[in-house]
Amino acid sequence: MSGKKEYQDIGRIVKYLNDHPKCKVMFMVGAGISTSCGIPDFRTPGVGLYDNVSKFNLPFAEAIFEINFFRENQKPFYTLAKGLYPGNFKPSLFHYFMRLFHMKGRLKRVYTQNIDTLESATGIEDEYIIEAHGSFRKNHCIDCNKEFPMELFKKVLEEDKGYAKCPSCKGLIKPKIVFFGEGLPDEFYDSWDKDKEALQSEDQCLVFVAGTSLMVYPFAALPEDVPEHLPRALINMDPVGDFLNNPRETDIILEGTADEFAEKIARDLGWFDELMRISGKQDSKQKTTSVKTSKNQSNKTPTESVIDEGGLCSTKEDKELFAITEKVRNLDLDKENKKDEQQ
């Protein structure tokens, strides 16, 4: 994208928002808005999550999020979950960009494919966030669906002694993340049905689509359902989905990172200082970093009754998989992959 074209497209966004001061904004986001936090996306060659777990003995890379595989082997997902659990990462600049619209009363909804809970970590109220693929926010039994305490599940991960089991039916416990083979939450469908109908009658609303490949349905169909009289703005490394296959005259496509354009748009709106303040950043060069959480020292809730000792063990494979998640958190995988190729 040329500098002139980029400047003009950002100008179109800013003009639309300024010309329509009561205009609400909707976000549809994916893993790309969290990569600067130290969380990998799924499909980027060499550094994506699937590319890196595929070197282990999995039948296919996506098996780590496949419900039938999880029933047979919990170790890969549990080890990965330990490294990706909420509290280990801080929201990105783009997350706080969304928060700005919420603070100004101009946020309609955030539809997210992400499971990292970073949208709510900024302070956006739950009623505005639809986690299409679930999240680490809650845990449940995959058999009876009974909820399982978050702190207890976190303790099971940290102690690394086994996998959690349901105290009622002894079924397996996992976060309420939608695995392949499971249906999306009813909340996703109910919310989108209402929002889609409301958009038909609204004469002003800007829809941002950011950091997503738009490859996983039904989420990938959301931009297609946006009425043609409303503008859509894609922030992504490349045009994808409906923006590529059925582009509209009113579409705005900004090719680059989500953080980059969050900063540029905020500057032109006159919101930059406020964005820096709420995000805790000093300047545009400051990057978000992953932080380790302290272990839960509480001994009030015994974990022995909900742990199956056969689930996780200190094998070489487990240690290697955990090492991968550590590298993922520090985004050091690209360098490591180059070493592997040379060998």
Residue 75 contacts residue 68 (beta carbons within 8 Å)? no
Residue 142 lies in a domain: no
Residue 288 contacts residue 280 (beta carbons within 8 Å)? no
Collect all residues with Cβ–Cβ distance below 8 Å to 106 and sequence separation of at least 6. Answer: 23, 24, 25
Q: Which of 20, 95, 102, 133 is catalytic?
A: 133
The tens digit of pLDDT for each residue in 218-263 reads 999 999 999 999 999 999 999 999 999 999 999 999 999 999 999 9
Containing structural domain, residue 24: 3-39+89-133+178-292
Query: What is the per-residue burial (b if ≥16 Cβ within 10 Å, else e) of 252-290?
Result: bbbbebbbbbbbbbbebbebbeebbebbebeeeeeebeb
Residue 272 lies in a domain: yes
Residue 121 contacts residue 90 (beta carbons within 8 Å)? yes
Is 28 assigned to a binding site?
A: no
Helix or strand or coil: residue 283?
coil
Distance, CA of 26 to CA of 307 (rounded, Å) = 41
Residue 305 lies in a domain: no
Strand 147-148 with 252-255, pairing: unpaired
Whether 133 is catalytic:
yes
Q: How far, in Å, are 32, 172, 189, 215, 241 from residue 220 at the CA level?
A: 14, 30, 13, 6, 7
Residue 50 lies in a domain: no
Going by pLDDT thresholds of 50, 70 and 90, the confidence category of residue 157 is confident
Closest CA to 148 of 139, 157, 137: 139
Is 144 assigned to a binding site?
A: yes
The tens digit of pLDDT for each residue in 65-81 reads 899 999 999 988 887 88
What pTM did the predictor assign? 0.79
Q: Is the predicted pLDDT of residue 341 greater than 60, yes or no?
A: no
CATH of the domain at 192: 3.40.50.1220
Going by pLDDT thresholds of 50, 70 and 90, the confidence category of residue 56 is low
The tens digit of pLDDT for each residue in 7-42 reads 899 999 999 999 999 999 999 999 999 999 988 665
For residue 331, report the phi and psi dihedrals to the nearest 5 degrees: 50, 40
CA quadruple 126, 232, 284, 113: dihedral sign: positive
Residue 317 lies in a domain: no
Is 117 assigned to a binding site?
A: no
The number of folded domains in the chain is 1
Residue 113 lies in a domain: yes
Residue 164 lies in a domain: no
Residue 330 lies in a domain: no
